[in-house]
Amino acid sequence: MRDPRGVEANESDQPAVSAGSLTGDGPADGGAPAGSAGEAELTGVGTSGRLPSTATGGDGDHTGKRIVREIMSGSALVSVLAVVVALVIGGLLIAVTDKRVAAASGYFFAEPGNTFAAAWTAVSEAYGALLRGATYDPGARTWLGQLGIFETLTFATPLILAGLAVTIAFRAGLFNIGAQGQIILGATFAGAVGFGLDLPPVIHLLAVIVAGAIGGAIWGGIAGVLKARTGAHEVIVTIMLNYIALSLVLYLLKNQLKAPGSTNPVSPAMKDSAVFPLLLGDNFRLHAGFLLAVVAVVAIAWLLNRSTLGFELRAIGANPSAARTAGMIVSRGYIVVMLISGALAGLAGVAQISGTEKSLDSEVAGSIGFDAITVALLGRSTPWGTFFAALLFGAFKAGGTSMAVNADVSIDIVLVVQSLIVLFIAAPPLIRAMFRLKTPSTRGAGA
Amino acid sequence: MKLELKGITKSFGSLVANDHIDLVVQPGEIHGLLGENGAGKSTLMNVLYGLYEPSSGEILIDDKAVKFSGPADAMAAGIGMVHQHFMLVPVFTVAENVALGKEATGFAGVLDLEQTRKKIRDISAKYGFDVDPDAVVEDLPVGVQQRVEIIKALVRDARILILDEPTAVLTPQETDELISIMRQLKDSGTSLVFITHKLREIKAIADTITVIRRGKMVGTALPSAATTELAALMVGRSVSLALNKADATPGEETFRVRNLTVMDDAGHRLVDDVSFGVGTGEILAIAGVQGNGQTELTEAVLGLHKHVKGSVTLDGRELVGRNVRQVLDAGVGFVPEDRQIDGLVEHFSIAENLILDLYGKAPFSRGSTLNRAAIARHAEAKVVEFDVRTPSASVPVGTLSGGNQQKVVLARELSRPLKLFIASQPTRGVDVGSIEFLHKRIIAERDKGTPVVIVSTELDEVLELADRIAVLYAGALMGIVPGKSSRSLLGLMMAGLTATEAQAQLDASATTAEGELS
């Protein structure tokens, strides 16, 4: 039981849904270039016909780059509206599945007001419970129940780190779908150090953190090296590496890393010296990993915006041809960014195993690796945007249970809302059309 | 067929690309549409061709208002268009390309190409096109591909033919052939709209000239109007078309290319055993029709190509085998051919683009931290020095006009001490006013004693800037001739004759290409 509130049953099918909606949105978005801006870009690519051929690859997938750029060019407003629209549709679903609404709609034509009143009650109760569960609920019996905000932060911690992993790869033009596998590897390395070694208190935790980062970096680095040396597409490679990571950890859990005497594929518990200290005492799960995540946000923000390396990575992401012409080594950039990205995802694995899970099993990454993609997209691939998007998703997780218990609404609604957010974020033209927002034009039209 | 545009306005958001444009094309007339890049010519033609819907205004054909919801409607109404970039399937034959979109079919939908072949032969015979319906398009020279586009329009019974910058990809000789084709079409009653920014050509062929500037119609003129007059209308102020350039005083030959061969991955020779040298304080222009190895030559010098044989030396130091960073650090300034692909990062600000290859150097960074104050100061100074028209240096470079984008690239490459300056197509897609400015900066760099290599497919530009001219054809050097050589000589060399062969042919023949245009 990793989650004290019993969300367990729900999590196993979450990755499948998230992954499904992600693979689905690519072609859909590609087929709908956003008006004149999209067209301009299409002709620009189509007519140049002179892209230098190199072994480093990464120039060929211009459609992919265009989709990524289209997603990233969405304004903050689009992100906010995507959440709002997703919540509205979620609300409609709550209303139509509510028993009281169904009862009232039986005499809809006699008394239409009753149906609407029932719907309003159902939706406001559900979302009210969600909000209170994620922030502050004066009516709850325990401290833990009252201050859901800290549970939100706990859930957000690995999402922040994994979201940053996706974000930084994104900025260098790579779509790292492999955060899931990198988290697993990070957690495995961290776990091996955490329960396998005996070290002095502070040093042990630091060693665990470093080991986790290295584990993730190795897994991300494989994709980076393959991309740089052979041009293998990082999306395919990272997806495949996810499966390998999962199988690898299962193998290790059945053999080398299995807890002595256990029949289940579960590792021994982390040593006390290898665990993040709790920040607010024993009543709350919030741990020092959250501080690590905040430090990571600040560090990545500096790296991307203030450092020469970040300048290089952003240039490579926005226009690899121009970056190469300006003397940057694009292939090296791909390797470096995948090492950093993998390390961040590895830290998310550390946050899991040293923060909340305390032992390694094959479910250690939950759906974090996939949610991280949504979080990064919702945060428009900026470090602080990712931070706040992760908080929102943490709130969904923390509040979802409360909604299920207090308002008798299935926790699956939260999943629906999350998936709708993915859909709307991935299709900014849809949101823009819905709210009649102007298409951001990068280039003036004309002769 | 008479075509009339009345008060056509097309806006994209707040940008008005066409502002109340009135245009009448009389039957059997060649109507020249003159304007700079970005003036709104192509937008107007896309409105006419049904690709854009006008925000207001109407289109009349033979005095009847028509409304097009797509190119199919426009074609049905008798409008044909030859795009600047050909809309042909390279691996299809001529007949297949012509049939595409309007395939004649026989029993059970079986493709009947014989009809199309016959039509192509008829049209070919009528206008002397010399096009084989069964030739594969990618094997044809560019000039012939363009004829295929024209045939495509004619097969669909186009009575008005729009030609969008048709001469951009042609040699001077091919341009002359195109002009004679246009005359024949006109004589057979087809109306033509000829879009260009080249004054010389429009004066040679058009019956009436309409000038567009910044989306507005600024005047009409007859082809007899003076070139400077037309240029002034197009730019909105008087421009000096002739550069006052002092003669070069070439010094020591510091940049040498010896037996340079560049191959693609399949082993085809893109640059074939080319040797030349450039002295300090001299501009060598490399002329040639697009796609004859110029791009690869410059990219090989910069270290962007893998399969390079031969030697490139700068001040005696070998550059072949070095990476781009090392070549740039050796003192090479490089303006790539396509600024949007290789020269700029569109989403980056002007300031960031100005340090795209300098970010690792003082004062722009200290250790691994960017010095944002120094970057901003640098940007402010360069924006003023190079007259980049922008509200601020922090706007994305993609929002600037082509001319201003190119100024950013040149500002970056000229803002450090250079030992060699290479510029590919330094003024492609740049307005006339900016061209003047950019040319002056290039000559100023020459006068500082830097060897300069200019690659250009525009003969006007080559003749204006060059102290010596090298002509490339199919990757091989056809010869190096003095900067004041005749257009016809260069034209023949661009078509694959060596300098001596071309001169011999000119001496032997009295009909020159020059006669057609002057």
Determine the structural domain holding residue B139 and report its residue range. Answer: 3-235
CA distance A258 to A254: 6
Residue B213's H or E segment, with its range, is strand B208-213
Residues of A in contact with B293 (CB under 8 A): none
A259–B contact, CB cutoff 8 A:
no
Cα distance from B249 to chain A (closest Cα, Å)? 31
Beta-carbon separation of B345 and A308 below 8 A: no
Beta-carbon separation of A444 and B15 below 8 A: yes
Interface of A with B in 313-342 (CB under 8 A): 314-315, 318-319, 321-329
A141–B contact, CB cutoff 8 A:
no
Q: Which of A48-62, A299-313, A414-428, B160-174 has the highest mean pLDDT?
A: A299-313
Q: CB within 8 A of B466, min separation 6: which ones?
A: B283, B284, B285, B287, B454, B483
To the nearest 10 degrees (0 to 180), the angle between helices A308-318 and A330-350 is 110
pLDDT band (50, 70, 90) for residue A302: very high
pLDDT band (50, 70, 90) for residue A63: low
pLDDT digits (tens, 9 = 90+) for A113-169: 888 888 898 899 889 988 988 888 887 777 777 888 999 999 999 999 999 999 999
CATH code of B261's domain: 3.40.50.300
**Whether residues B277 and B217 fall in one domain:** no
Q: Is residue B373 part of a domain?
A: no
Q: What mean pLDDT value characterizes chain A?
A: 81
pLDDT band (50, 70, 90) for residue B104: confident
Task: Determine the distance from the C-alpha atom of residue A114 to the mean position of all C-alpha atoms in its chain, rounded to a whole number.
Answer: 40
In the prediction, which pLDDT does A41 show?
33
Alpha helices in A231-329 (DSSP H): 234-254, 289-306, 308-318, 320-325
CB atoms within 10 A of CB A297: 21
pLDDT band (50, 70, 90) for residue B224: confident
B338–A contact, CB cutoff 8 A:
yes
Look at residue A206 and tell me whether its pLDDT is greater than 90: yes
Which domains, ranges and CATH numbers included, belong to chain A? 15-25+61-435 (1.10.3470)
In the prediction, which pLDDT does A9 show?
39
Nearest to A321 among B342, B360, B372 (CB): B342
**Whether residues B75 and B187 fall in one domain:** yes
Q: Choose one of B205, B235, B265: the last residue of a domain.
A: B235
pLDDT band (50, 70, 90) for residue B349: very high
Q: Which residue of B has its CA nearest to A35?
A: B12
Residues of A in contact with B346 (CB under 8 A): 318-319, 442-443
pLDDT digits (tens, 9 = 90+) for B447-491: 999 999 999 988 888 998 999 999 999 899 999 999 888 888 998
pLDDT digits (tens, 9 = 90+) for B313-338: 999 999 999 999 999 999 999 999 88
In the prediction, which pLDDT does B242 show?
66
Residues of B in contact with A53 (CB under 8 A): 264-265
In the prediction, which pLDDT does A443 show?
39
In the prediction, which pLDDT does A142 show?
78
In the prediction, which pLDDT does A71 show?
55
**Whether residues B44 and B190 fall in one domain:** yes
In the prediction, which pLDDT does A53 show?
34
- Beta strand B307-314 with B317-318 is antiparallel
A53–B contact, CB cutoff 8 A:
yes
pLDDT over 70, % of chain B: 97
In the prediction, which pLDDT does A51 show?
34
CA distance B305 to B330: 18
Q: Is residue B125 part of a domain?
A: yes
Q: Is residue B398 part of a domain?
A: no
**Whether residues B22 and B106 fall in one domain:** yes
Q: Is residue B317 part of a domain?
A: yes
User: In terms of pLDDT, which residue wins out, A6 or A333?
Assistant: A333
Residues of B in contact with A315 (CB under 8 A): 345, 348, 356
Q: Choose one of B179, B201, B235: the last residue of a domain.
A: B235
**By CB neighbour count within 10 A (0-12 exposed, 13-18 middle, 19+ buried), where does B329 fall?**
middle
In the prediction, which pLDDT does A99 show?
83
**What is the longest distance spanned by two Cα atoms in chain A?**
76
Residues of A in contact with B396 (CB under 8 A): 442
User: In terms of pLDDT, which residue wins out, B426 or A429?
Assistant: B426
Look at residue B243 and tell me whether its pLDDT is greater than 80: no
Beta-carbon separation of A314 and B348 below 8 A: yes
Give the pLDDT mean for A413-435: 81
pLDDT over 70, % of chain A: 81
CA distance A45 to B91: 19
Cα distance from B510 to chain A (closest Cα, Å)? 39
For A398, phi then psi, to 5°, come to: -70, -40
pLDDT over 90, % of chain B: 38
Look at residue A312 and tell me whether its pLDDT is greater than 90: yes
**Whether residues B151 and B78 fall in one domain:** yes
> What is the DSSP secondary structure assignment for residue B399, as one 8-state letter?
G
The tally of domains found in chain B comes to 2
pLDDT digits (tens, 9 = 90+) for B378-417: 999 999 999 888 888 998 998 887 788 999 999 999 988 9
Q: Is residue B364 part of a domain?
A: no
Look at residue A385 and tell me whether its pLDDT is greater than 70: yes
**Best A59, A71, A325 residue to mutate vs chain B (most B CBs within 10 Å):** A325
Q: Say what the pTM is.
A: 0.77
Task: Determine the distance from the C-alpha atom of residue A442 to the mean position of all C-alpha atoms in its chain, rounded to a whole number.
Answer: 28
Residues of A in contact with B328 (CB under 8 A): 326-327
Nearest to A325 among B215, B336, B401 (CB): B336
Nearest to A326 among B195, B340, B356 (CB): B356
B413–A contact, CB cutoff 8 A:
no
Q: What mean pLDDT value characterizes chain B?
A: 87
Query: Which amino acid belongs to residue A352?
Result: Q
Residues of A in contact with B337 (CB under 8 A): 50
To the nearest 10 degrees (0 to 180), the angle between helices A76-97 and A383-406 is 10
Query: Which amino acid belongs to residue B159?
Result: R
Look at residue B171 and tell me whether its pLDDT is greater than 50: yes
Cα distance from A293 to chain B (closest Cα, Å)? 22
In the prediction, which pLDDT does B511 show?
52
ipTM: 0.75
**Whether residues B69 and B161 fall in one domain:** yes
Cα distance from B182 to chain A (closest Cα, Å)? 22
pLDDT band (50, 70, 90) for residue A49: very low
Beta-carbon separation of A447 and B43 below 8 A: yes
Q: Is residue B46 part of a domain?
A: yes
**Whether residues B73 and B221 fall in one domain:** yes
**Whether residues B225 and B104 fall in one domain:** yes
**Whether residues B171 and B283 fall in one domain:** no
Q: Is residue B262 part of a domain?
A: yes
Cα distance from B325 to chain A (closest Cα, Å)? 4
B51–A contact, CB cutoff 8 A:
no
